[in-house]
Each structure stands twice: as structure tokens, then as C-alpha cells.
């Protein structure tokens, strides 16, 4: 069987056809928001793509436009299925490891699954990649930095974590362990790895279902529903368009000097959540009210959030000449256009 169009929801490894002259790339979580955009970009340049996704947060609709491509192969299964992962990694040239539990709501509601997929899943990917010495991109997160306030965040900064009693920090700690493990494989086993810390990546196809703020704001504004801001809204974030993120990921994987290194992947244009809500309201022409809800009501007692999250991207710029091509207005407009369709 070739092509995701005929693969449907069949479990197991599909037939893997040989293509000449281009890379074969495995994308874990390839039916997710970022993974599906990455698959499109790699197909466009001629690569053959293998996608594995358990469709927990990923969706077949995300890859609907490329499902009929004969160079796309879909496996609906978990990355914890070692026999399938062994087969896929063996027949791939490189791995983009994006599969993870994502979204604040998801992490708060499913702590066991979050830790299992983020820690055990990454360990499986790295161990099998090392067996066949296949290059790996590890998708990490800006949550690694924790509760920093004083400056933009550089890759070598210390982390400031909350207590283990607060479930909010489980995701950050699981991704921290992923980074330690990846660097250990690089140092001890000489496995080529690249780590990218993604900052609030947004764009078409992202859902607000799991607590992603921008699509949630846009959907509410377009439906004339209240735009819900958690906390006082003075917390700041930096948003990056998915096209910029995917471009940076691919270029880092193509850059030999990036191996064994960690890079912030983000946009350093910072905005408060209050200002973001107001901007969404204005750009959609919405009459929606902006409502503030305490964190405790949204996520339960004792929830902690990060007051500021803005990346220093000097290292990424030096490595691949990176500069974001979307400003905040362009990012918001792309999400508005997507939901209007």
C-alpha cells in the first residue's frame, strides 16, 4: 500500500517505496499542527515522508491536502510501539521528532499520558535512531525556561521551575529530560541531534481546544462570543508563524554545525495577552467583550503561569541567517483568514 490516501486508519507499517535522489524523513506527530506543515514543506522540496501519529491531538484533516501524494506514508499508531518505530526509523534518513502531549489544558487534564509520551516516547526515538545512526531533530519548548522575568531568554540561561506539587511544570520538566537525553546521546554515542525550543507557534490549522490562546481568541471574536483572558492579562508572549518555524527547523537539520546544539525558534516581538485580545477584536471587527477569568477557575487551585516569554534569537540568526518573515499583525491575519474559511 502506498500513500496515506489509501492508508486510512489502518494500524501497522505500510509499504515503504524507494525514491531516488531525495531524503526520506520520518515525522513523529506528523498529523499535528506543526507536523502537518512540516510534511507539506518537505514534500514540496521532493522528500519522501513517513508520518506516525496516534491522532490524540493530531487530525487527519490536517494532512487532507497531501494525503493523496504518493511520497507520503501514514501510520496511525503511537511512538511507544517499538516494532513499528524500529521499521520506520530504519527506512528513514532523518527524524523530526514532534510527537508530544501539547497544550496547557491537555497537560493539566492528562498528567500521566503527558509524562509517558514525552519521556518514554523520546527515549524510544533516540535509542532506535542511535541503533541506525539517523539524525534527529528534537522539538523542545520555551516552557523549559520556567518563571523567568528579567530579560529575553537565551539558550544557556538557567531555568526557574515551580514546585513539583504544581502540575503546570510537568510538561516543562519532561521536555527538559528530553533535552538532557538527546545531548547525552550526542556526547556519548555520537548521535547527530539538533534541539529546537519552540516559542508559541501559531497559524492556520491550530486549534484553541487545548488552551492555545490565539486561535481561541480569533474563534471567539468571529462568533461574537466573549474573548476569555486568563489571569490579569499582563503576562506577555511572543508569537511565531508556523511557516517561519518550519523553515527554521528544516534549515537547522540541513546545517552540520547545528548538531549537538540547542536553538530558540521564535519571534522576539513581545505582546501582552490583554493587548493581543484587543488587537484580535479590532482586526476581526468584533463586538465581543474581553472577559478576565482567574487561573484557579480555568485550571484549578494553585495554577502557576509564566509572566513573560520572549526569545533571544541571536544564536539562530548566526547559525542559519534566520529572521521572522511574519510580524504580529500578519500572524493574526493568517489565523483570522483560516477561520473565516
- Which of 145, 171, 210, 326 is labelled catalytic? 171
DSSP string, 216-227: HHHHHHHTT--E
Neighbouring residues of 156: CB distance < 8 A, sequence distance ≥ 6: none
Pairwise CA distance, residues 201 & 102, whole Å: 12
Burial 150-184, CB ≥16 within 10 A → b, else e? eebbebebeeebbeeeebbbbbbbbbbebbebbbe
Pairwise CA distance, residues 120 & 128, whole Å: 12
The stretches of 119-241 forming alpha helices (DSSP H) are 121-132, 170-189, 213-222
Residue 171 falls in the annotated catalytic set: yes
The stretches of 262-320 forming alpha helices (DSSP H) are 273-284, 295-299, 314-320
Q: What are the residue numbers of the active site?
A: 171
Amino acid at each position: 500500500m502506498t500513500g496515506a490516501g489509501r492508508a486510512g486508519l489502518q494500524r501497522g507499517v505500510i509499504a515503504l517505496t524507494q525514491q531516488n535522489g531525495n531524503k526520506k524523513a520520518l515525522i513523529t506527530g506528523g498529523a499535528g499542527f506543526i507536523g502537518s506543515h512540516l510534511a507539506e514543506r518537505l514534500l514540496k522540496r521532493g522528500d519522501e515522508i513517513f508520518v506516525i501519529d496516534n491522532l490524540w491531538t493530531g487530525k487527519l484533516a490536517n494532512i487532507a491536502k497531501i494525503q493523496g501524494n504518493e511520497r507520503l506514508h501514514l501510520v496511525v499508531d503511537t511512538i511507544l510501539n517499538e516494532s513499528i518505530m524500529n521499521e520506520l526509523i530504519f527506512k528513514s534518513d532523518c527524524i523530526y521528532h514532534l510527537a508530544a502531549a501539547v497544550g496547557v489544558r491537555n497537560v493539566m487534564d492528562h498528567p500521566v499520558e503527558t509524562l509517558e509520551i514525552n519521556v518514554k516516547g523520546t527515549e524510544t526515538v533516540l535509542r532506535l535512531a542511535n541503533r541506525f545512526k539517523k539524525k534527529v531533530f528534537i522539538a523542545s519548548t520555551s516552557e523549559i525556561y520556567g518563571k523567568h522575568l528579567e530579560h529575553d531568554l537565551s539558550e544557556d540561561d538557567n531555568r526557574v521551575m515551580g514546585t513539583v506539587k504544581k502540575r503546570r511544570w510537568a510538561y516543562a520538566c519532561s521536555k527538559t529530560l528530553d533535552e538532557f537525553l538527546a545531548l547525552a546521546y550526542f556526547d556519548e554515542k555520537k548521535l547527530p541531534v539538533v534541539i529546537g525550543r519552540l516559542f508559541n507557534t501559531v497559524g492556520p490549522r491550530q486549534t484553541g481546544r487545548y488552551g492555545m490562546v490565539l486561535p481561541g481568541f480569533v474563534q471567539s471574536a468571529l462568533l461574537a462570543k466573549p474573548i476569555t483572558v486568563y489571569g490579569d492579562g499582563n503576562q506577555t508572549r511572543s508569537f511565531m508563524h508556523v511557516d517561519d518555524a518550519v523553515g527554521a527547523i528544516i534549515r537547522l537539520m540541513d546545517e552540520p554545525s547545528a548538531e549537538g546544539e540547542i536553538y530558540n525558534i521564535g519571534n522576539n516581538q513581545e505582546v501582552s495577552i490583554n493587548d493581543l485580545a484587543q488587537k484580535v477584536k479590532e482586526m476581526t471587527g468584533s463586538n465581543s467583550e474581553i472577559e478576565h477569568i482567574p487561573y484557579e477557575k480555568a485550571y484549578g487551585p494553585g495554577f502557576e503561569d509564566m509572566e513573560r516569554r520572549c526569545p533571544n534569537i541571536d544564536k539562530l540568526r548566526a547559525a542559519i541567517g534566520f529572521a521572522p518573515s511574519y510580524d504580529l499583525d500578519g500572524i493574526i491575519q493568517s489565523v483570522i483568514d483560516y477561520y473565516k474559511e
